[in-house]
Amino acid sequence: MAGKVSKTKKKTAKAKFVPNIVAFACNWCSYAGADTAGINRVQYSPNFRVIRTMCSGRVTPGHVLKALKLGADGVLVSGCHFGDCHYIFGNYKAVEQFDRTKALVKTLGLDERRIRLEWVSAAEGTRWGEVIDEFVAQITTLGPSPLNHKPKSRK
């Protein structure tokens, strides 16, 4: 019986879970894409906070890990499509940085699906909404980040 109550409580807690997502978006494409989504009144999940960076290549593993440490359940890094980066090779650097970040996330015992790298141009407002919705759904399925569990207080 106690097991049943516990399962019900867990289900309720999971049903109430609203993911906290941080999206690093490059100034020249993805941030503008988010703007386009707003201008075109694209309907998508509001469960994220955007941090504007000049280029996706500027987002280091440290930035992503700090976002996770400070309470993000998932982190999205988004930049220009290949060939469109304002700094020519910034998004290629972003891929390298992201691979390093993924390795660190795995080392920490976190599910690597908690981080995601996507390319969204300034004209792709609809795509921006789709990427956010997909990622929110994915993180909702994964549940709260294990880093967000507060340790039980000692008596």
Residue numbers of the site for ligand FES (CB under 6 A)? 26, 28-29, 55-57, 79-80, 85-87, 90-91
Q: Which residues have a Cβ under 8 Å from the Cβ of 13 and sit 6 or more positions away?
A: none
Which of 91/140 has CB closer to ligand FES?
91
Which of 110/122 has CB closer to ligand FES?
122
Which of 86/102 has CB closer to ligand FES?
86
Q: Amino acid identity, residue 148?
A: N
CB count within 10 Å of CB 48 equals: 21
Residue closest to ligand FES when measured from CB atoms:
79
Phi/psi at 82 (5° precision): -55, 135
Smallest separation (angstroms) from ligand FES to the CB of 23: 13
Smallest separation (angstroms) from ligand FES to the CB of 79: 3
Which of 57/125 has CB closer to ligand FES?
57
Smallest separation (angstroms) from ligand FES to the CB of 32: 9
Nearest to 146 by CA among 75, 69, 76, 77: 69
Q: How far is CA 134 from CA 11, 30, 56, 80, 144, in A?
A: 22, 16, 20, 19, 16
Smallest separation (angstroms) from ligand FES to the CB of 101: 16
